[in-house]
Every structure is written in structure tokens, then in C-alpha cells.
Amino acid sequence: METALEDRTDALFHALADRTRRDILRRSLVREYSITALAGFYDMSFAAVQKHVAVLERAGLLVKRRRGREALTHGRVETVRSAATLLNELEELWRGRIGRIDDLLARDD
Amino acid sequence: METALEDRTDALFHALADRTRRDILRRSLVREYSITALAGFYDMSFAAVQKHVAVLERAGLLVKRRRGREALTHGRVETVRSAATLLNELEELWRGRIGRIDDLLARDD
DNA sequence: TAAACGTACAACCTTTTGGTTGTATACTGG
DNA sequence: CCAGTATACAACCAAAAGGTTGTACGTTTA
């Protein structure tokens, strides 16, 4: 069963479906930030921001690097691209250009 | 405040973050389906599938058309493209090619 | 016209999400 | 070495998500 890809895709789009997380991701794509630094941007607790970072991390959208006592986050553009690729596949499906539709559809009709 | 765009983006990625909804979307991008026909593909109630269709509809990813007693769904590829565009903007940000970063970042640092 | 069909939607339940506070641990600097 | 800083993580809570069943209503069709 190819449910592992679907699991990753669920996590990927779920991580992107929150404006705070998208903002953290945008910033972390530009440069590294400590979690405390990120927390300073939003009107919520440090722990809440820490959880958002964890969601992004589980989705593979960012990684943390240790520097002394702080954890520096940086965005992984490859994962952003992989999400874009999934959307492009949907578009190709619409265009009727994908032959092996079975690979993308759960069941057949 | 430009929170309307963020609201739509939340709805868009949230709609994509479920495998059943992605499957409904894939099928509806290829051709029209009645909700009952869609429900036949999944191991859940008609009402559950109906709710998934509603989530996709609210996100603008598909529209329903009436044909007699049935509602035919078809996917809107333009909205899929708009999601891809948002991801491309993240990539451009990473590339350092976006000048007006303020437009994309919630607050400044 | 009555039965069957397709949809809509309300009410309900359980799990997940997104937030909180509190506590523990590890590193830094004076 | 000890006070302050940064992170990690547990426990808790309210709201949202994802499912269920039941009911109502318009459209076909026999």
C-alpha cells in the first residue's frame, strides 16, 4: 500500500494550512532564526510557536540546527518544491496528459 | 489588513491536506462526478463524502453543477494553479529575488 | 401518483488541533 | 558557580475536524 506518500502529503499541506506556520517558513527560507526570535513576531506563547516549528519540521519544511543553547531553524526549499510538484501533477491530470492515472487515483471506476 | 488572502490560503491548503479530498479533486479534474458516484469510491458514508466536497467547494477547488436531482462536481484547475503560485512565491523568497518582502512577511524584524 | 433516488442538512460523538501554563534541563556569561 | 537565557516537553483546555445516523425535500420513473 502506497500510503506513506499520502501520509507525507497530508503532513505537508496541513503544515502549510496555517498562516503563522507559513510566516515562520517564509522567514526561515530567507535566513536562520532562533525559536525565541520567531516567537517575538507573533502574539502567542513561546511554546505555541515551538509547536508550530515542530509541525513544519515533521512535514520536512524546515530543519533545526543547534548553536549552543539556541535552535536555529532554516527552511527546506526542496520540500516546498515537492509540494509544488504534487500540484503540477493535478494540473497534468486535468490536461489529460497523465497516462497511468491509476497511480494517482485511489480506486478505479 | 490583508487577512482575506490568508483566510483563502488557509482554506486552500487545509482542503488539500486530506487524502480523500485530494482523490475527489483528482477525479473531478478529469471529469464530472455525482456525489453518490464519488461516495462509491470510499469506505465512508455519503454524508462524509458530501462534507469533503463542501470543504473543496469552499476552498474554490471545485464547483457543483445541478443536473436534475444530482449535483455534478468538477475541479477548478485555476485554483490549483493559485496554490502552486503561492508555493512558487516561497521559492522566490528563498532565492532572494523578492524585493518587497514586507508584502509577504507579517511583521518586520 | 407512489416508490425510489440524490441531495441537503441537523444533531451528535470522538479525535485532533492550537493554544495555555508549569517544570525540567542545558548552555552562557559575569 | 550561579543567575539568566533558550529550549524541551508534559498536562490541560476549548474549538475545529472528521466521522456517524436520521430526517426532509425535490426529481425521476415505473
Query: Distance from B77 to chain A by nearest Cα, in Å?
Result: 6
B25 chain-A contacts, CB cut-off 8 A: 90
Quick one: cell of A48? 505555541
- In this predicted structure, the answer to whether residue B109 has a pLDDT above a threshold of 50 is no
User: For A65, phi and psi rounded to 5 degrees?
Assistant: -125, 140
What pLDDT digit, counting tens, does each position of A6-59 carry?
999 999 999 999 999 999 999 999 999 999 999 999 999 999 999 999 999 999
**Under an 8 A CB cutoff, do A16 and B13 touch?**
yes
Query: pLDDT > 90: what percent of chain A?
Result: 83
Please tell me the predicted confidence (pLDDT) of residue B107.
44
Mean local confidence (pLDDT), B42-69: 98
Res A96: pLDDT: 84
- Nearest CB to B19 within list A6, A27, A81: A6
DSSP classification of residue B68: T
* pLDDT, average across residues B89-101: 81
Q: What are phi and psi of B79, to 5 degrees?
A: -70, -35
Predicted confidence (pLDDT) at residue B103 exceeds the cutoff of 60: no
Distance from CA of B106 to the nearest CA of A (A): 7
CA angle B83, A27, A30 (to 5 degrees): 95
Using the predicted structure, report yes or no on whether residue B105 has a pLDDT greater than 90: no
Q: What is the pLDDT of residues B24-52, one digit of tens each?
A: 999 999 999 999 999 999 999 999 999 99
Q: Which of A32-46, A84-98, B48-62 has the lowest mean pLDDT?
A: A84-98
Nucleotide nearest to A69 (CA to C1'): C27
Could A29 and B93 be called an inter-chain contact, meaning their C-beta atoms sit closer than 8 Å?
yes
- A75 in Cβ contact with A29 (< 8 Å): yes
Distance A29 CA to C10 C1' (A): 45
Mean local confidence (pLDDT), A75-88: 98
Find the CB nearest A105 among B14, B23, B37. B23
Domains and CATH numbers, chain B: 2-108 (1.10.10.10)
Biggest distance spanned by C-alpha atoms of chain B:
57
- B22 contact residues in A (CB cutoff 8 A): 6, 9
Does the pLDDT of residue A109 top 50, yes or no?
Answer: no
What pLDDT score was predicted for residue A1?
A: 54
Give the bases of strand C that a protein CB approaches within 7 Å.
5-11, 17-22, 26-28
